[in-house]
A and B are shown apart, each in its own frame.
Chain A
Amino acid sequence: MESDQLKSNLAPIVKVENFHLHYYTRRGVYKALNGVNLEIRKGEVLGIAGESGCGKSTLGRAIMGLIPRNAAVVDGRILINGRDYLKPLKDYYKNTKKFKPSKNADVLKKVNNEMSKIRGQEISMVFQEPMTTLNPLLQVGYQIAEVLLYHSPGLLASRRLSRSRAKKEDTKALVKILNENGPNEKFREYLKEKNIMGLEDQILAIWRRKDLHDLKKEQMIEKLCCEPINSFAKNYLETIEKENKLPNFSKIPIFGRIVKRELIKEGYKKASEFLGLLGIPNSDKMVYMYPHELSGGQRQRIVIATAMINSPQLVILDEPTSALDVTIQAQILELIKELKESINSSYMFISHDLSVLAEVSDRIAIMYAGQVVEVGNKDAIFDQPKHPYTQMLMEAIPTIEAHELKGIKGEVPDMRNPPKGCMFRDRCPYAMPICAEKRPDLIKVGEDHYVSCFLYEGGKS
């Protein structure tokens, strides 16, 4: 019974199988990913570590389907909840004599169209550089609201409609219920009965705030009612609420704008609530600001909020703290940890800072030259590193400032002409003849602990 539950908890959301990706450039073909095997399970934080250029970002972006036109999906697959979205790209590569970025871009367009349905909804991503991740011309509230507009217009519509449907006595009654029992079944039943479910997260966002006096909260909640609505917009919002689908705005010329504006406005409200829940002060003003008015740390919080607002199943964090200074780094890490507690998502946390990974991860995968060379539970990786490269990384930690993965002798192989055998052979103190001949597979060396190295083949451990 218990182990069954464990299993379903551990079922993977993303499964990367023997994935190969090559970048076609003027200076040659860079073989960035050379057979990645990896899975990301429900509710876990998977840390990814490896030197600069080993393909961590490439892997993260490939899972998102954010593949540049000059990148060929050469082999393998990435399953997201069982579905391989990148198959058309691989099929194109396999069936063409000469890879052309412009043809690849055509296929990519289709992939983008398919994946836009799950991006921001099932999977989302936070980039490394908060200064360039936000659109400089749009208010941050709009940029958050956009996610809701395209994925949950129904929620926005129902929030707006519920404020027009609710009567003063309804909100008063809800405050009373909350004061007596908190947000329990009775609270939800009342909302359902009055057809004002859209009020739920608005009320709770106020109720859960820690910076307000109870009386003030009650006043604010009581005000969530009796907001009149344009009757034309109302009809459309009701359809949107029912179908959770945006209408074709171009078919409803003038009123389309009104409806869209109502939705976006509601998105700003929800964005500000969400930022408030993340403990960001003055969130109701912040949503009307432009990125250049915010600091790097604030921007990264906005980016994280944007990625999280739809409670996706998986969030890929590509060095979310590397571009920030140390104190801000700590705050952002704290935020991510809190989110991990409150929203039941999985995380893929990319970092070249092992001390950060030690803090946040459940499992850790070590990448080298476009492959996962070792993966296992955090403790196993730190206490019993198996792969010679991992061992060297662990030894390097205490001697290197800021724990960066730099202090290892030797060069990464030229990725235009990777060696036939083990990629690490040139730098490996244990290299054997077989290491030059073929690539080692990932083999099991312990409970949920895998390594790709010939030292462990043949049951040695």
Chain B
Amino acid sequence: MLLFIPTLLGLTVIVFVLIHIGGTNKLLAMYLSPRLTGAARQQIIAELDQKFHFNDPIYIQYFYWLAQIFQGNWGITNTPIFSGPVTQAIELFFPNTLMLTIFAAILIWLISIPLGVHTAVNRDKPSDNVIRVGSLTFYAMPWYLIGIILIIIFAVWLKILPINGTVNPSLVADLSWYHNGISYPTHILLIDALIHGNLVVAGNAFLHLIMPSVTLALGVMAALVRLMRGTMLETLDQDFVNFARAKGVPEKVVINLHAKNNALLPVITNFGYLVAGLLGGVVVIEDVFSYPGIGMWLTDAMINNDMGGIMGGTLLFGIILVVTSLALDLIYAKIDPRIRY
């Protein structure tokens, strides 16, 4: 249970090693604005040396660096869309991404679990084959291709969904809680609009959320459908499922209570990997839909070789994964009485 603390520390070690593969300069690059020159630059370097002890052995440096990370000093980022402290970039961009990912994760869960159950129960029938081939097709397609197909269908042909950004700019032009593409206080436009009671903006923000999250969901859903189908097939063969039938429990209850809940256990364990897949996808999808989230900022950071952004993103994604798996462990323990702490 408390295993997540060493995991987090291990993560910081890896990030630290990554930074240092290129020597001290990389660490400096994370904390030093390239725009500084001359004496000012020298002075900042001296200050950084005070904090990071560049001349100490590397394993000592690690602890100084870790102390800075814990204090929220994650370096600075310098990209066309944002320059300033990494933590501030995260604070501004991450909420949108979180919204997108959670929305996609919910979609994935609500769609793939029933599909997995359905395909297992109707194994080898036409609907099983169609769903399996369909979901594998999406799985094999790169994200941007799915995105573009959806854009062509829903935005170009049917003209029912917007493709770009988080909101129609004319709607938010003179709102007091929206400046420079960022809404306040949560920075998630949909929620902020609801907080301020502006249903028109909220509805519009929701429409903007649909295509990116559907794209994100379609790209990874196949993995979950497949997994659920597999564990369900296995569970349907178990003695306790047959025993439930032998008791005269109606088939519907056998499937939805006895088989499904047991088949869900391995799926929950593996949902973490799926979230990892989602985070990878977010970077691409935000780019395709010009959605102002962490992915857009990180793409920019990579293009501009911005060390602060790259390492900050790595650390953030790592933390998210650890926290997700912790949450999944808790959920698992809630469902499975065999797990106790």
Contact = CB atoms under 8 A, between A and B. Distances in A.
B262 A119 contact: no
Interface stretch (B7-15, B241-249, B281-289, B309-317): B241-249
A8 interface: no
A64 B246 contact: yes
B229 interface: no
Interface string A104-119: 0100010011011111
A136 B246 contact: no
A345 interface: no
B251 interface: yes
A242 interface: no
Contact of A129 (B239, B244, B245, B338): B239
Interface string B239-281: 1101111111111000000100110000000000000000000
Contacts of A119: 245-248
30 contacts: A66-B245, A68-B237, A102-B122, A102-B124, A102-B125, A109-B251, A112-B251, A116-B245, A119-B245, A119-B246, A119-B247, A124-B247, A127-B239, A127-B243, A127-B246, A132-B238, A132-B239, A135-B243, A135-B258, A135-B262, A136-B336, A136-B337, A146-B244, A146-B249, A150-B247, A150-B250, A290-B338, A292-B337, A303-B243, A307-B247
Given A102-B123, A102-B125, A105-B123, A133 B240 contact: yes
Contacts of A147: 247-249
A68 B249 CA distance: 17
Given A127-B239, A134-B243, A136-B262, A117 B123 contact: no
B335 interface: yes
Given A101-B124, A102-B125, A292-B338, A135 B249 contact: no
Given A66-B242, A113-B251, A116-B249, 16 more contacts: A69-B123, A112-B251, A116-B245, A116-B250, A117-B248, A118-B248, A127-B242, A127-B246, A133-B243, A135-B243, A135-B262, A136-B240, A137-B261, A147-B249, A150-B249, A292-B338
Contacts, number: 91
Contact of B248 (A68, A101, A116, A129): A116
Interface residues of B, number: 25
Contact of A121 (B125, B248, B338): B248
A119 B249 CA distance: 8
Interface of B: 122-125, 237-240, 242-251, 258, 261-262, 335-338
Interface in A257-280: none
Contacts of A132: 238-240
Contacts of B250: 113, 116, 150
A135 B248 CA distance: 15
B310 to A, nearest CB: 44
Contacts of A361: none
A286 interface: no
Interface of A: 61, 64, 66, 68-69, 100-102, 105, 109, 112-113, 115-121, 124-125, 127, 129, 132-138, 143, 146-147, 150-151, 290, 292, 303, 306-307
Contacts of B247: 119-120, 124, 143, 146-147, 150, 306-307
B250 to A, nearest CB: 6
Contacts of A292: 337-338
B7 to A, nearest CB: 27
Nearest to A108: B251
A34 to B, nearest CB: 24
Contacts of B239: 127, 129, 132-133
A311 to B, nearest CB: 14
A136 B258 contact: no
Contacts of B262: 135-137
Contacts of A143: 247
Contacts of A117: 248
B9 to A, nearest CB: 33
Given A101-B124, A102-B125, A129-B239, A137 B335 contact: yes
A105 B255 CA distance: 14
Q: Which 8 A-B pairs have the closest CB atoms?
A: A120-B248, A119-B248, A102-B124, A120-B247, A132-B239, A290-B337, A135-B240, A125-B246
Contacts of B125: 102
Contacts of B124: 100-102
B233 to A, nearest CB: 11
Contacts of B249: 116, 120, 146-147, 150
Contacts of A127: 239, 242-243, 246
A121 B247 CA distance: 8
Contacts of A115: 248
B335 A124 contact: no
A137 B246 CA distance: 18
A307 B248 CA distance: 10
A296 to B, nearest CB: 14
A116 B338 contact: no
B337 A66 contact: no
Nearest to B125: A102
B337 A124 contact: no
Nearest to B124: A102
